[in-house]
Structure 1
Amino acid sequence: MSLLEVDGLGVSYGRRSGRVLSGVSLSVRPGEVVGVVGETGSGKTTLVRAVVGLVPADEGRVTFDGTEVTALRGRRLRAFRRTGGMQLVFQDSLRSLDPDLTVAAIVAEGLTVAGGLTRSEQAERVDEALIRVGLDPALGTRRPGQVSGGQRQRVALARAIAVRPKVLLCDEPASALDASSRNQVLLLLDRLRRELGVAIVMISHDLTSLAGLVDRVAVLFGGRLVEQGPVGEVFGDPAHPYTALLVASAPSIGARPLGRSAASLRPARDRESWPHGGGCRYAPLCPFATADCAVEPPREERADGRTVACHHAETWSDLVGQTRGALT
């Protein structure tokens, strides 16, 4: 049974910006880690912000633990947020942590909002959260500017888990860190999932980071999900041309090679002039698209549990085989 359900979610930022998300659907089960991957501007951050209600959705719905979050307004929405069931961990820990507060006060923010704890109980929860993320509680007297980048991201995670959430929504939580700190944060997230049973939605543009952490992965392009399924299957045998392009750009995840370079999966420029009438947003860039792809919206639920928004999903293996043969 799903803990978090996103059904046909759409978000617009006005006429100039247009539609940022359209018809996005995904689910997260208790204790599961779901990755969302896509290039910059694909709608990843908008998705997690809309899930927690920071960005209003203009179509679809978000349901968390039986509560339809997108139907909540005003006092009811504020009451829902106080429960702390979903916690968002931002990419830039320096900007997301109040520079004037101590680490202990930052970790206690959610507990203070929720209420119901004595000062000693709250202090115990703060120390417990800091220890969980591998920090000495003695750091509680310092301010964000007095600790390292890796420590700040751990503080942000401590603040999130202090309220004992059921879902963590992590928006590229390790992308601003050096390689060593990044690996430590990813290992920490995996440990928190196992020890606390918390589900995680992990936003990233780095397929390598996701490959060893997530159970399932969803691929966003132009605000639409083009493919989702078990991470080993999606990365190991892509069923959508855009996923294949991402995989070809990250050979370290061990997928089957698709050609000499990622550029092999890019089409001629004349595809960019195709009319677009609500079909596949990737059609102008797809090496396998036909004119119908630009006007007919694709969606296919496969027998293996993978969802592929591609008119050519059934013949994808043959097409890839022909492409691989022509390029090698």
Structure 2
Amino acid sequence: MSTLLDIQDLSVEYDRHRVLDGVSLAVRTGEILGIIGETGSGKTTLARAVAGLAPVHGGRIAFDGTDLTALRGRARRAWRRTGALQYVFQDPLRALDPQHTVGTIVGEGLAVAGRQRPAEIATRVSDALTRVGLDPALAARRPGEISGGQRQRVLLARALAVEPRLLLCDEPVSALDASNRNHVLRLLAGLRDTAGVTVVVISHDLSSLAGIADRVAVLYGGRLAEHGPIGDVLAAPRHPYTALLVASAPSVRRERAVPAARLRGTGPGYDGGCNYSARCPFATAACATAPALSTVDGDRAVACHHALADLEFTS
């Protein structure tokens, strides 16, 4: 697969606090990439930086060869109007204007781009609502008049109406019940299979990614801990933090996993070394130096000084 989104050495800071620290990651055309991590790991900041919604302090973000971090002013606005990259927010109630109808909301991107007449926009809105499993008649309603699951799908319809190449979905199922959660996850998988849309799903729930993602990237404390094909990562995690996540997800738990009881400390450190070492049961003197992200097992990479496949995991 070709690379659609190429992130190199990305750093983001807020109030002198580094939220992302040198993250490098490639998203391949036509795949579903899951980005997993606990609250504060930097996963939402990563997505927002890609979408131009968070300040980039270092590094490069390229979309199909176009350096997004170099675009300014009119060039940036012109690129956004192409609709090639769409961001699906986590909270529909905050992301949807309660004063506007669903039809106006879904057609907003088309209207801004100025590419269709009103009748054409109405047709595209109807098509987008149908694609996400909603009755086109909902176009006349307002967000407060529909359910939470419907609002989440309206966000997806708004993104799909402009025919994007990449969807960035920030915790798209975190506020949904089991039935709506499964529906939205199946919908995301279907978009990749039927429309060829590349999808990045931000989540703190490894179980929700297990059935739809092709690859997974694990963030901890603003750094990339591990990434690779999701089946391989779940079956044999190579980073202690990944192993902890697997052990904490009942539906994907494996026998070889690091138990939560063996954790030390309370959170990531920033002393120049490995930011997981304060919590890691395998930490040694070598961890005083930050590990580089190194390729292992072909399509996998891990930032850890120790080959965890050779260490004894206990359940």
Of 292, 299, 317, 2:309 maps to 317
Taking the aligned partners of 1:101 and 1:306, their CA distance within structure 2 comes to 45
Of 287, 296, 315, 1:293 maps to 287
1:241-269 Cα distance to aligned partner (Å, 9 max, x none): 0000111111311433426x4223x14x5
Q: Which residue of 2 aligns with 1:62?
A: 61
Conserved 8 A contact 1:87-1:169: yes
Q: Which residue of 1 aligns with 2:35?
A: 36
Amino acid at match of 2:146: V
Q: Which residue of 1 aligns with 2:252?
A: 253
* Larger CA deviation: 142-151 vs 187-196: 187-196
Secondary structure of 2:219's counterpart equals strand
Q: Which residue of 1 aligns with 2:301?
A: 307
Instruction: Normalising by structure 2, report the TM-score.
Output: 0.96
Q: Which residue of 1 aligns with 2:277?
A: 283
Taking the aligned partners of 1:9 and 1:108, their CA distance within structure 2 comes to 33
Q: Which residue of 1 aligns with 2:102?
A: 103
Conserved 8 A contact 2:10-2:24: yes
Distance change >3 Å, CA 90–CA 239, structure 1 → 2: same
Q: Which residue of 1 aligns with 2:153?
A: 154
Distance change >3 Å, CA 85–CA 275, structure 1 → 2: closer
Amino acid at match of 1:90: F
Taking the aligned partners of 2:149 and 2:309, their CA distance within structure 1 comes to 42
Secondary structure of 1:3's counterpart equals strand
Conserved 8 A contact 2:236-2:256: no
Amino acid at match of 2:294: E
Q: Percent identity?
A: 61
How many matched pairs?
314
Taking the aligned partners of 2:256 and 2:291, their CA distance within structure 1 comes to 29
Secondary structure of 1:285's counterpart equals coil
Conserved 8 A contact 2:132-2:156: yes
Report runs of 4+ in structure 1 exceeding 2 Å deviation.
254-259, 274-277, 294-299
Structure 1 gap ranges (5+) = none
Conserved 8 A contact 2:246-2:254: yes
Structure 2 gap ranges (5+) = none
Taking the aligned partners of 2:270 and 2:68, their CA distance within structure 1 comes to 33
Conserved 8 A contact 1:276-1:294: no
Taking the aligned partners of 2:241 and 2:172, their CA distance within structure 1 comes to 24
Taking the aligned partners of 1:175 and 1:101, their CA distance within structure 2 comes to 24
Q: Which residue of 2 aligns with 1:21?
A: 20
Distance change >3 Å, CA 94–CA 296, structure 1 → 2: closer
Secondary structure of 1:283's counterpart equals coil
Q: Which residue of 2 aligns with 1:8?
A: 9
User: What pairs up with 1:137-148 in 2 under 5 angstroms?
Assistant: 137-148=136-147
Conserved 8 A contact 1:50-1:56: yes
Taking the aligned partners of 1:60 and 1:19, their CA distance within structure 2 comes to 13
Taking the aligned partners of 1:141 and 1:276, their CA distance within structure 2 comes to 51
Conserved 8 A contact 1:276-1:295: no
Question: How far off is 1:275 after superposition?
Answer: 8.7
Q: Which residue of 2 aligns with 1:195?
A: 194
Select the structure that is richer in helix.
1
1:173 aligns with 2:172: yes
Question: How far off is 1:109 after superposition?
Answer: 0.5
Amino acid at match of 2:3: S
Taking the aligned partners of 1:263 and 1:115, their CA distance within structure 2 comes to 57
1:96-130 Cα distance to aligned partner (Å, 9 max, x none): 00100000000001001111211111111110000
Question: How far off is 1:85 after superposition?
Answer: 0.4
RMSD: 1.7
